[in-house]
């Protein structure tokens, strides 16, 4: 049983959290349970969305970020994470079922993304202690993926 309440609706959230939840609903079509829990603290919800916004400005595309999230969720055995990221992969990143399946198996049908997904899996499986060979393989795949475009 959760010690932190999952808010039943946007209206039940603190006033400062409500616009953030409305924005999430507009973008995603629904408000994930994780957001409804974090919304108990408007500052935490704002921080969470701020972090996600900052990360979205990096070099990885939304599709690659979802591919990595699916692979990591699979390695971690997190059913909730798999559910959320499968939804996001299909409905936001527009990945097809074949790609989602490949991602859950730690790979991708896109050469550049394949290098990123495999590297992320290596990081998780080795608890951050990746070998020099894994780094080199990732870099080679990344460069090869750029040439293929």
Are 75 and 43 within one domain? no
Q: What is the mean pLDDT of residues 84-103?
A: 96
CA angle centred on 125, ends 123 and 131, rounded to 5°: 50
Which CATH number do you get for residue 79? 1.20.1290.10
Total tally of structural domains belonging to the chain: 2
Are 68 and 48 within one domain? no
Are 14 and 46 within one domain? yes
Are 92 and 39 within one domain? no
Domain that holds residue 102: 62-147
Q: What is the mean pLDDT of residues 74-85?
A: 95
Q: What are 83's two structure tokens?
A: 């559910």
29-41 tens-digit pLDDT: 899 999 999 999 9
Residue where one domain finishes, among candidates 58, 73, 97: 58
133-149 tens-digit pLDDT: 777 776 666 555 554 44
* Calculated CA dihedral for residues 128, 134, 137, 139, nearest 10 degrees: 40
pLDDT at 1: 57
pLDDT band at 71 (very low <50, low <70, confident <90, very high): very high
Are 33 and 98 within one domain? no
Q: How far apart are CA 131 and CA 60, in angstroms?
A: 22
Contacts of 6 (CB under 8 A, 6+ apart): 33, 36, 37
pTM as predicted: 0.80
């Amino acid at each position: 049983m959760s010690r932190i309440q999952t808010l039943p609706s946007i209206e039940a959230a603190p006033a400062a959290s409500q616009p953030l939840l409305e924005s999430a609903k507009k973008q995603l079509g629904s408000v994930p349970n994780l957001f409804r829990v974090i919304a108990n603290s408007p500052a935490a919800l704002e921080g969470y969305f701020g972090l996600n916004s900052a990360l979205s400005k990096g070099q990885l595309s939304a599709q690659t970020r979802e591919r990595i999230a699916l692979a990591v969720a699979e390695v971690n055995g997190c059913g909730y994470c798999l559910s959320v990221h499968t939804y996001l992969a299909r409905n936001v990143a527009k990945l097809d079922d074949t790609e989602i399946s490949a991602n859950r198996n730690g790979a991708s049908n896109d050469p550049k993304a394949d290098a990123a997904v495999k590297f992320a899996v290596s990081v998780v499986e080795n608890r951050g202690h990746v070998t020099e060979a894994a780094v080199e393989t990732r870099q080679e795949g990344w460069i090869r993926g750029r040439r293929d475009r």
